[in-house]
Structure 1
Amino acid sequence: MALTIGVVVGLVQIFANDAYSGIKDRLWPTVKGTEVINYAPVNNGHLATGISIGKTGSGTCDREALITEGAAMRCSIKDQGFEPCYWRDVKGDRDRYICVMSPWEKKAIQVVIPEGWDTPGIEGPQIPKEERGPWGVEVQDPGNREKFYRCLAITGAAGSAGGEPTRYICWNEHIDPWKDGYLDEAEVAAYGTEVERKTQGPWMLPIAIVGGGSEVRRGAIRRVFL
């Protein structure tokens, strides 16, 4: 029995869709698990591999960092604050701290502490470790799995998404959002709430895409930085 043109076209479309689906699965696979990285720009007091100093200035460190689970400080040069910052082991009588704007940034900021300044020690988290979210997150777009966002934890009030407090600001992973040391809000692509930690499967992050209305959807997390 001869097949009608409509049936043939339909079969071709089905095979084409199946073939594209298979290619898509290989090129942009579903995130099946989350890589957890304990990140710091220093290793045993020395600059970590790949990290270099992009800026040095005299400043102070006055409290423990709030956005990371590691042992880090919040430091400042003049009126600009940096967090997290890590002690660097160097010769001399002035302490130095290494700060990075994000776990993807390779150029660090070195804060040189004035002589006589009493930097407070890290006596323990001001926020319990189990209550802190990851500092950096790489999350898959819930509606387009070939696209990923890089998200940074924020402190303080920053609005809400879907009725939940905003904990992360996100941008497209191929964009550098930093302008003169400050985050360019024009580059923000999404806002995230709380990271959902899973014992099986990938961790998840509910995000609201900028320009997508108030809808919040859960994206699978490829990688987190603690």
Structure 2
Amino acid sequence: MKNNIALFSIVVLVSCSGNQATKHAHRDDAHIKTSIEDKQFNEVGDSLLVAYDFPEKWYNGVFDEGHAMSKNDSVIQQKFDKLDFFDKINGKKKLGNNAGKEYLETKKNVKIDSIIEFDSSKIGHNKLVYIKSYKTFLDTTYDFPPTERSVDILFYHNNKFQKKANVYKEINYPFSVDIKLGYLNKNGILTTKKFEIDEESINYIGTKTEDLNKFLKQ
């Protein structure tokens, strides 16, 4: 009888411990989920990008012999220039040129000139690192090598790299420029708009919207 009582007590104790462990696990999961929901992304870019509708094409008047720049073109160009935020970002920490090569998906013909961390944040067990970088394309088909400026967000979970999201990209070729302007709001919604710039005009390519919450892990 005593053995049965002792055995019953052990079973009850183990069962209670298991229930408590399960409750703690649920509370931890709920805490992480709540911390993810409560935290906000750091804003990047200008919110006016979302609201402004660009025409398919306008003239920038770079060359005097080119197409004349109208008053409306001038207004559009001023708004376009205002939305280009790359030079407005002040870096906090310059990273080594080798740092982040795997994150930036560097190819053999691309040289990273510099990487600068300008912001960071934590959302639950996720760390977000905001960087701006300069790269040079080692392409001999051009008289002058193309260059790239970009702004990216690196996602880490438990200090392990997970994903990269590109917010801004400008590739300068000898006679043209490809540019992607972006705006990331506090809710993690990233809006980007692409443009192609030639010697006399700017062409609007299109808009893309992406929810970066999908990169967060509990």
TM-score using structure 1 length: 0.30
Larger helix share, 1 or 2: 2
Compare CA radii of gyration and give the structure with the larger one.
2
